[in-house]
Chain A
Amino acid sequence: DAGVTQSPTHLIKTRGQQVTLRCSPKSGHDTVSWYQQALGQGPQFIFQYYEEEERQRGNFPDRFSGHQFPNYSSELNVNALLLGDSALYLCASSLGGTFTYNEQFFGPGTRLTVL
């Protein structure tokens, strides 16, 4: 049973560029959440996708956008990259659509460096 997978593992971009990160959820999961983890900090919630819709969003500018596909995989897009966007981007999957909290499982992350 494959867990959460993310690609690419590492990415180097320059300021002003755009980047797309990808996530495949754990088998059987339909909800994907994205988190940003700056060096030495805890992860910060970016947004969550369920049924191909953005269900909720954290305190991030609209340069950060996402998408969820019918197979539940997801993309995170960041436009007009800033140096401060350098971080580890983590994807988490869970089973949504219920009224109880379901455990989130995290992928290995994508390390983004903006020069």
Chain B
Amino acid sequence: KQEVTQIPAALSVPEGENLVLNCSFTDSAIYNLQWFRQDPGKGLTSLLLIQSSQREQTSGRLNASLDKSSGRSTLYIAASQPGDSATYLCAGEGGTDKLIFGTGTRLQVFP
């Protein structure tokens, strides 16, 4: 059974710091990977999608990479801002078109 671990579970940093959020899968057979943002009590906003032929994706201050040999993904947030405060979820897809999610990293960026 595929399980997903996200480290750290929670993070509190002053604004301006560069951050690294980690995600690892017990089964490295991940073909596609999405990173999501979730504000308290809200739905999921897709941040980045790394498709099967790709190794990384970038959008603005966000960069995500996927190492398929180890089943690990990293989300890098540059120059963090208070508006980045949210829970970040990674989700992998292993060829079945359903997403397997981690439990998330709760991020707080304070001024």
Contact = CB atoms under 8 A, between A and B. Distances in A.
Interface in B13-49: 31-32, 34, 36, 41-46, 49
Interface residues of B, number: 26
A17 interface: no
Given A101-B93, A105-B46, A108-B43, A42 B98 contact: no
A45 B102 CA distance: 12
B52 interface: yes
Nearest to A40: B103
Contacts of B62: none
Contact of B98 (A58, A90, A100, A103): A58
B104 A42 contact: yes
A94 B34 CA distance: 13
A45 B99 contact: yes
A101 B43 contact: no
A48 B97 contact: yes
B46 A103 contact: yes
A44 B104 CA distance: 13
15 contacts: A31-B97, A42-B4, A42-B89, A42-B102, A42-B104, A43-B44, A44-B101, A90-B44, A101-B93, A103-B34, A105-B46, A106-B46, A107-B43, A108-B43, A109-B42
